[in-house]
A and B are shown apart, each in its own frame.
Chain A
Amino acid sequence: MADANATTTLARPSADRVTTRRPSTRLRNVELALLLVAVAVAASAILLVQLGALGHIDGHIVTLAAGLAALVLALHVVLRFVARDADPFILPIATALNGIGIAEIYRIDLSPTGVRQGWDDGTSQIAWTALGIGAAIAVLFLVRNHRLLQRYTYIAMLVSIVLLVLPLVPGLRLENAAANVWVSVGPLNFQPGEIAKITLAVFFAGFLVARRDSLAMVGRKVLFVRLPRGRDLGPILVVWVLALAVIVFEHDLGTGLLLFGMFVAMLYVATGRTSWIALGLLLAAGGAYAATQVLSYVQGRVTNWLDAFQGDLYQQPGGSFQIVNGIFGLAHGGLFGTGLGQGRPDITPAANSDFIMASLGEELGLVGVFAILSLYLLFVSRGFRIGYSGPDDFGKLLAVGLAFVIALQCFIVIGGVMRVIPNTGLTTPFLAAGGSSLIANWMIAGLLLRISDTIRSGPRTVI
């Protein structure tokens, strides 16, 4: 690990300079200012939706959203006490994305096909956001130091496996869903796979920190590639099988890809061995190829991707209607969009969840899409920054894993909407309608805030 140490010493001074020049209260003040901007963006989005789709302002949803703003500010206050040195960008970005998401989900509720009485998607998204922010606050209180999590490495593994298997348990499974990724307890439906992102990141980080040396150094060299030992290969195969199981038994291509991708990325960062990447890609490619051959639903998605506009695929049940209409929506939005509440995003199925980027692209235009993508990129780069300057390898790996999983999830779902890759069902982080996803992503935000705080407030190494 000589080379790793060298880069660490080079990276330190800059991190220090930032910390010393920016005292804790100033960080929090920056956060507050950005947070007010984010709240203003979200509030104007909701008001514009009402003006565009209803033609007048409706007080009810505004009151609910104001409650959320108060909750976000509460989280900010909590940070002032329990994580004073936390990164000042993460909370405002999450707030802005979440707020824009609520506005668009509410907008779909207001569309001719979406008007529903009572507990509509917009209101429930607000409720889930409240729970999500609550979860982030809980994380900040319960995890006072992220190194504690390292103790629970193998418990995290067990929890992950249980979470991923839960949807297959007969009594808990939600029937009539396209993918078996839901758990249903009473009136509540939950996607445990979303939470598994976090527990798996904890497990991978702990496991890789413990085993990195043997993973990195030992192994036979064949040609120019150093192949890992059989016993080191074990874990990667276990994760591969787990991901495949999710794909095969739960019909959830997206989550399978996501978890496996996160693991390979963390493995590479931990060991620095390109052979892992090659092996990971090989396994992923092999799995993907086998899936397209064996699983009809995967095959259908590949066909819908490649031949979306061809022939009568558009009219066929399970054909390319959704993806083509998402693209029509984006195209119709053009550079500046139709304006919030003034497009017809509801034509596309799943306009408020998997295809929310198509809805936002239609109403906010390319400008809006670029802004949202930039927010994600900034969020991820903050996570990576924590990874760069983290004082301990566990924290670094965990931060990188969590940030990468957000990036990869964005790429898989938005890339699917825009026909960069085949479309696989996944939620767009912070934006899409869905409780489990929101709670998981707010917990990720909470963890990143926590790790960033320990970096800045931790004892500094002498330069």
Chain B
Amino acid sequence: MNRELKRISALVVVMFTALFVASSVIQVFQSQNLDGDSRNQRARADQYAIQRGQILLSDGTAIVTSPKSDDQFRFDRDYKQPRLYAAVTGYYNPIGAPTGIEGALNAQLAGTSSDRLFDRIQNIVTGQDPKGASVQLTIDPTVQKAAYDALGDRRGAVVALDPRTGAVLAMVSKPSFDPNAIADHADGVAAYEDLVKQDPNPLVNRAIAGDLNPPGSTFKIISTSAALESGKYKPSSTFASPRSYRLPGTDTVIQNAVGEACGTGPRASIALALSLSCNIPFAQLGIALGDDALRTQAQKFGFGQQLSIPLKVTPSVYPAGPLDDSETAQTAFGQQDDRATPMQMAMVAAAIGNGGTLMKPNLVQKILSPSLAPVSQFSPEVLSKPVSQDTADAVRTMMVASVASGAATNARIEGVEVAGKTGTAQNGTGDPYTLWFTGFAPASNPQVAVAVVVENGGGLGQTGFGNLVAAPIAKQVMEAVLNR
């Protein structure tokens, strides 16, 4: 009997060993993974119980803080000038994932990032409550305000970059929303559900995401770059300039924006076509270059590439090949299936303005400790070299002409040379246009590159155009930078 009892004892030991092993695996070895699971309410509630770091502007003003609250979450999240900065800050609520900088730098703000491990140990030793790190942005309050005011009540977005560093000076998306409403512990969820139901949805950041728009004529900067980079064309190379042009293999007839020929002669140069924003010469140029050349050039500017600033930027699209001539012709002036974010088009202008070198766009200047001592600092990074210095100079000259005497005259600034390009993109038949402007100033030594998109025709249906609506907005943003 006792021999059997020994075996039963061994069985019990095996059963309990299984429990010892299982609890060790869950509580020690997999603990971090399980705590990171998005369904784990405990970890999230814990994050909320530590004082989250602040979000500061480039001049050191705090726009997001975490004052103490008297409910179970211990801290509120308070947004100052909430609508002005909503596209940058995003929102934070214990229920649901945070967005914007709140989401992209959640680990730092919440103090759970591994590079803050030492601080946390120090906190445990000294008995202080742990705090999250603060984040200082590159956003310039003057430029941001100018962009926000200039866009007014129109649906759209503005992005302003420093072409020399990639620093994002302004990022605005309209309609905006109040992150305080979503951060509210009691009514946040209801406020969120209310906002999501609105049309247009204010939670969509139209500067870097959303349903992307066709870039229209702003894409001609890329087509021109591709032409010059190929070595086969110069700004003076000409194409036939009829009043209308039938796309090869189709019955579709295209026209230039005003329904006239491009310039006065029978042929138009690339320089003239870019300055006056003519479609017909670019259609022919596109066919001559082929879709591969256009696609390669677009990708060098950032199309189709993942980008994190550290907010995730939706990749802009040049359609996958092979394309037939008719399709290629239309992609050359930013229609067909071309789609772009304002961030992408600002990058195109910035690269041209910076002599062909594209700096990586970046929203974050510094990570600061809870006592606001710098923990890490971001230095400018080269993202790519989409065009040579010569090509950049040539495209710059054409863009300057466009603002000085071409299709983008409403971006002119007294006493400053501005380079720019408008776009008036068609959507569906009868749908309102998407209105664009992208450019930089001062042309010879740019301090700012800007892209403006106005969706839904800016309320003007099919009567608005880029120079009328988007160019004046861009002008005010550039002036804000130049007047600093």
Residues in chain A within 8 A of chain B (CB atoms): 1, 3-4, 7-8, 11, 112, 265, 268-270, 272, 309, 314, 324-325, 327-335, 343-344, 347, 361-362, 365-366, 369-370, 373, 376-377, 380-381, 384, 387-388, 393, 396, 400, 404, 407-408, 410-411, 414-415, 418-420
Contact = CB atoms under 8 A, between A and B. Distances in A.
A7 to B, nearest CB: 4
Given A328-B42, A332-B43, A411-B15, A384 B9 contact: yes
Contact of A376 (B2, B4, B16, B28): B16
Nearest to A387: B5
A269 B42 contact: no
Interface stretch (B18-26, B252-260, B357-365, B412-420): B18-26
* Max chain A Cβ within 10 angstroms of own Cβ: one of B13, B22, B35, B72: B22
Contacts of A407: 12, 15-16
A380 to B, nearest CB: 6
A195 B28 CA distance: 37
B27 A272 contact: no
A112 B18 contact: no
A269 B39 CA distance: 47
Interface string B199-240: 000000000000000000000000000000000000000000
B16 A343 contact: no
B39 A415 contact: no
Interface in B34-87: 34-35, 37, 39-43, 45-46, 72
A65 B35 CA distance: 35
A347 to B, nearest CB: 6
Contacts of B35: 328, 331-332
B3 interface: yes
A411 B12 CA distance: 9
B16 A384 contact: no
B27 A344 contact: no
Contacts of A404: 8, 12
A411 B72 contact: no
Contacts of B22: 415, 418-420
B51 to A, nearest CB: 18
Interface of B: 1-5, 7-9, 11-13, 15-16, 18-20, 22-24, 26-28, 30-31, 33-35, 37, 39-43, 45-46, 72
Contacts of B8: 265, 268-269, 384, 400, 404
A309 B26 CA distance: 14
Given A328-B43, A384-B12, A400-B8, 11 more contacts: A8-B2, A265-B11, A314-B39, A328-B35, A329-B42, A362-B42, A366-B28, A380-B12, A388-B5, A415-B22, A418-B23
Contacts of B33: 331
B26 A327 contact: yes
A411 B23 contact: no
- Which A-B residue pairs are the 5 nearest by beta carbons? A331-B34, A418-B22, A366-B27, A7-B2, A411-B15
* Max chain B Cβ within 10 angstroms of own Cβ: one of A362, A396, A407: A407
Contacts of A4: 1-3
A411 B27 contact: no
A362 B2 CA distance: 39
Contacts of B20: 370, 373
Mostly, the A contact residues are helix
B5 A335 contact: no
B23 to A, nearest CB: 5
A414 B19 CA distance: 7
A314 B41 CA distance: 13
B1 A420 contact: no
Nearest to B2: A7
30 contacts: A4-B1, A4-B2, A268-B4, A268-B7, A268-B8, A269-B4, A309-B37, A325-B41, A328-B34, A331-B26, A331-B30, A331-B35, A331-B40, A332-B35, A332-B40, A334-B27, A343-B42, A344-B41, A344-B45, A376-B16, A388-B5, A393-B1, A407-B16, A408-B15, A410-B15, A411-B16, A411-B18, A414-B19, A415-B15, A419-B26
Contacts of B24: 366
* Max chain A Cβ within 10 angstroms of own Cβ: one of B15, B33, B37: B15
A405 to B, nearest CB: 11
Contacts of B72: 112
Contacts of B23: 330, 361, 366, 369-370, 373, 418
Contact of A269 (B1, B12, B27, B30): B1
B69 to A, nearest CB: 15
Contacts of B7: 268
A361 B19 CA distance: 12
Nearest to A268: B4
